[in-house]
Structure 1
Amino acid sequence: MFPFPCMPSSFSALRLPLLALLLGTALLASSPAHAQEFPSSEERVVDEIAAVVGNDIILRSEVEQQVQAMRQRLRQQQQGRVPPAEQLWDRVLQQRIDQKVLAAQAAQDTTLSVSDAQVQQYLDRRISRLAQRAGGREALEQTYGKSINQLKANFESQVREQLLAQQFRQRRLNNVRITPTEVREWFEDLSRDSLPTIPASVQLSHVVRRPEATAEARQQAREVATAIRDSARAGMPIEELASRYSDDSGSAEQGGRIQTSLDELVPSFAAVVSRAPVGEISDVFETPFGFHVARVNERSGNTVDFNHVLVEIDKSTSTGEEARSFLKAVRDSVVNQGAPLGLMARRYSEEEQSASQGGRVTAQSGESTLRLEVLGPSWRSTIDTLDVGEVSQPTEVRLLGSENERAYHIVKLTDRSPRHRMNIEQDYARIKNFALREKKQRVYQRWAKKLRDEVYVDVRTGDDDGAGALSMGAR
């Protein structure tokens, strides 16, 4: 049975294996004291084959890395109560075998594909998170003795395999449904003593406006971007300009290079890179993030590869009065004239994610129920003044996921739930998700067992004859 997610607790800073981290199985802690060393290309470290799946192999080192990651995660979630090492080893090995089986089956399905852009996006997101926790990209490179590009190259095939297996699995499980009767039966089977305490939470919608930059700040940013464009057109590599001057920290260390689908870009940026001549330096153009200069390297279908330099507009001197006045007018339309806040958010909100959802505020996971304890002070001080259904006055806020960016918003409190023991009346949607997740797991296990019968699987862990030995340096 799936355990209920536990609240995060403090934990000692341990360096976790990079493969497990890149595959999303654990979080990187900050201390380098327990760093896991990775062999250089010259070293010849003897490894062993743990299992053979079709034409592929699973190395003992891969399993051990993910066992360490799982052990660390379980220590966090279960306050130190961790299953024996043998159980964790078997669990991880079976998961790796299942993934290999799924990937082998998915490779035969011509309707499934994972693009280079998808792989790079996944690796970029993971590397960015790891670098933040390690203290920067240089610290991450020093810890593992490899450049960022080397780290990505080492694990590109594993990530591609994982994404392909996920697609195959999701297609099979997307049609699994659960009835209200099944949900109630699942909940009634739980021990009353095992029911968790649900922290205080809220559901919110809002309309966001960003402060207007002064004319001087806007002009200054445009002039800097124009100078960068002129330098690029005069022959200075845009990669060097991005590394020196770009305010896009996520791509600056890669020379401003990004590979992505056009759908992932804001419309104003996508409009430029979808039409710009390949290999040429663009004119200066503006997006909600600031002024840009870009060079498209390649376009293929909906995927684009480009380098860019971002020059942000300094809004620190803005009073925010225009944003406040605009939001007051929007609030009046909602409160006094009956305009739906969702409609006003779609029309006028400058936060694209929530605007596309009618103003609904969600966590990064997509969950719309937000724990009060994880919202910042600017959010809580506004929410504390509201009853359910009320709309706040315009207030300054640090947006979720953009804590360094000033903005203003009006907030509607859609629902409020105090701290309580989980029950079917208040938490039906949450309980339904748990029950559905467990049902999908049962369906998946039966399906995976059937798929295994169609793929050659040879588990070799425990062999003493050395037949499974493999020199990693010779791979």
Structure 2
Amino acid sequence: MRRLFSSFSVSSIFGGSLLGILVLLTGLAASPAHAQNVQVVDRIAAVVGDNLILKSEVDQLVRRQTRQQNQSYSHDLWMDALDQLVNQKLLAEKARRDTTITVSDQQLNSQLNRRIEQLKQRAGGEAQLEKAYGKSILEIKERFREDLRGQILAQQLRRKRMQNINVTPSEVRRWFEEIPQDSLPRLPKTVRLSHVVRYPTPTEDARQEAKSLITSVRDSIVNGGASFEAMARQFSDPSAAGTPGGALTNVNLNDLVPEFAAVASRTPVGTVSQPFYNESQNGYHILRITSKDGSTVDLNHILIKPESPTGSRVKEYLSAVRDTLLNNEDVPFELMARRHSEDERTAKNGGRVTDPQSGTRDLVLDRLGPSWKRTIKKLEPGDISTPTKVQLLNGDEAYHIVRLERRVPAHRA
């Protein structure tokens, strides 16, 4: 019975044989710290048929999974990521051998164009995308074409193999009843929240002061012999990613915001960039590239943000929004969020707060920052908080009012 619900097995497609897979670098999953003294362009992690899996591909998948699942790097996680990529290539290889499965040029081009449009939106436009990748749109399309063809073939193969499997409701029910209750995971406390956000806007004088300071910091490093790491510890904003010395290792340029990726891609190894403004972090950056490995870089950076005003005007504004909601039951919270919230990511969804990595609305209470917990501690479902200062889930500092939608206590799955 359980086999009906097991995951789609690659080994079953190949009759249990994984001949044709050559894992070349079993030691590649070692911690990045072990390889800091070695510079290579890239390495081959595995060969599946005529397809190569590069170490950088595995590293990129590991980074994405650690962010999405809030995990720490480990040897097992790296090997699991390699297994996933091998399985994907195996499915695509098997699908290519199946003469009943084909992908037309029209189908491939349609999905490829859709993928490129999504990348353009994320990057902020065609020019920003080309700058981030260091390639033209045509070159970017060619880079993705064959991988996408393999993905489409693999999807069609899955559908073909799964279409004749029929499971009755009673079988589903019996399968769940057979699971021992004490083996079910315990799910943590979660909440659903909506909010209206306003940012305190720095004055032009504050912006100029921040720009002058980071220019002075760069001059001390480049011309005065100051240590980049020491200057980062002294001047960089606490919200800046990386170690206290500003270090970010094993970073894929494709994972960075476009303006940061563009500067990182054109800055030579060992040099310090000119100051640049990063809109997403509302501050000025300088960065130093310490190594490049294909599209993967190691770098140090310093972030200096303009001083923000006290926020009294912002709190008055949010108090007026809250009063309108409390005194007019026919005015939806979602409408006020769309009209008045300055957090673009949540405003377009009526103020609904989602996890920035997984996209879920059910936020694990213990993972929220202290300011979030204090704000909602005494709220009942439907209550709206008074204006409070907050560090948003994406790291930005702002003021907001919060409506608690619901609380779910810890429970068995």
TM-score between both structures, scaled by the size of structure 1: 0.45
Task: Give the 5 Å matches for 1:136-151.
Answer: none
TM-fit CA distance, 1:38: 7.7
The amino acid of 2:104's aligned partner reads Q
> Which residue of structure 1 aligns with residue 262 of structure 2?
251
> Which residue of structure 2 aligns with residue 357 of structure 1?
349
> Which residue of structure 1 aligns with residue 336 of structure 2?
344
> Which residue of structure 1 aligns with residue 387 of structure 2?
394
Equivalent residue of 2:205, what SS?
helix
The answer to whether the 8 Å contact 1:197/1:419 transfers is: yes
Q: Please give the alpha-carbon distance, in whole angstroms, between the structure 2 residues aligned to 1:356 and 1:170.
A: 32
Q: Please give the alpha-carbon distance, in whole angstroms, between the structure 2 residues aligned to 1:255 and 1:221.
A: 24
> Which residue of structure 1 aligns with residue 183 of structure 2?
194
Q: Please give the alpha-carbon distance, in whole angstroms, between the structure 2 residues aligned to 1:206 and 1:179.
A: 43
Structure 1 position 410 matched with structure 2 position 401: yes
Q: Structure 2: any 5+ residue segments left out of the alignment?
A: 8-22, 24-28, 124-132, 214-256, 268-277, 285-302
TM-fit CA distance, 1:372: 1.2
Distance 1:149 1:319, change over 3 A: same
CA RMSD of aligned residues (A): 5.7
Equivalent residue of 2:88, what SS?
helix
Q: Please give the alpha-carbon distance, in whole angstroms, between the structure 2 residues aligned to 1:287 and 1:39.
A: 33
1:330 to 321, 335, 344: 321
Q: Please give the alpha-carbon distance, in whole angstroms, between the structure 1 residues aligned to 2:191 and 2:399.
A: 19
The answer to whether the 8 Å contact 1:200/1:417 transfers is: yes
User: Per-residue displacement from partner, 1:276-329 (whole Å, max 9, x unpaired)?
Assistant: xxxxxxxxxx9887799xxxxxxxxxxxxxxxxxxx995524111121111101
The amino acid of 1:336's aligned partner reads N
Instruction: State the number of aligned residues.
Output: 283
Q: Please give the alpha-carbon distance, in whole angstroms, between the structure 2 residues aligned to 1:324 and 1:390.
A: 18
The answer to whether the 8 Å contact 2:282/2:305 transfers is: no
The answer to whether the 8 Å contact 2:92/2:154 transfers is: no
Equivalent residue of 1:327, what SS?
helix
TM-score between both structures, scaled by the size of structure 2: 0.51
Task: Give the 5 Å matches for 1:142-181.
Answer: 160-166=145-151
The answer to whether the 8 Å contact 1:106/1:165 transfers is: no
Structure 1 position 208 matched with structure 2 position 197: yes
TM-fit CA distance, 1:417: 1.1
Task: Give the 5 Å matches for 1:58-137.
Answer: 58-59=51-52, 93-100=86-93, 107-113=103-109, 114-115=112-113, 117=116
The amino acid of 1:374's aligned partner reads R
Structure 1 position 380 matched with structure 2 position 369: no
Q: Please give the alpha-carbon distance, in whole angstroms, between the structure 1 residues aligned to 2:211 and 2:351.
A: 31
Equivalent residue of 2:108, what SS?
coil
Q: Structure 1: any 5+ residue segments left out of the alignment?
A: 4-18, 20-27, 125-147, 225-245, 257-285, 293-311, 423-475
Identity of counterpart residues, as a percentage? Answer: 34
User: Per-residue displacement from partner, 1:413-432 (whole Å, max 9, x unpaired)?
Assistant: 1111121212xxxxxxxxxx
Distance 1:37 1:96, change over 3 A: farther
> Which residue of structure 2 aligns with residue 452 of structure 1?
none
TM-fit CA distance, 1:191: 2.9
Distance 1:164 1:393, change over 3 A: farther
Q: Please give the alpha-carbon distance, in whole angstroms, between the structure 1 residues aligned to 2:258 and 2:76.
A: 44
Q: Please give the alpha-carbon distance, in whole angstroms, between the structure 2 residues aligned to 1:167 and 1:289.
A: 37
User: Per-residue displacement from partner, 1:189-241 (whole Å, max 9, x unpaired)?
Assistant: 433232100011111111110012235336779999xxxxxxxxxxxxxxxxx
The amino acid of 2:346's aligned partner reads S
